[in-house]
Amino acid sequence: MKDKITVYERPTCSKCREMNKLLAEGGYDFEKVNYYTDPLTVAKLQDLVNKMDIPARELLRTTEPIYRELKLAKADLSDKELISLMVKHPDLMQRPIVERGAKAILGRPTENIKKLLK
Annotated catalytic, 13? yes
Residue 15: strand, helix, or coil = helix
- The catalytic position among 13, 22, 66, 77 is 13
Question: Where is 97: in which H helix or E strand?
Answer: strand 97-100
The residue type at 15: K
Residue 7 phi, psi dihedral angles, 5° rounding: -110, 120
Residue 5: strand, helix, or coil = strand
What is the Cα–Cα distance from 114 to 20, expressed in whole angstroms?
Answer: 13
**Enzyme catalytic residues:** 13
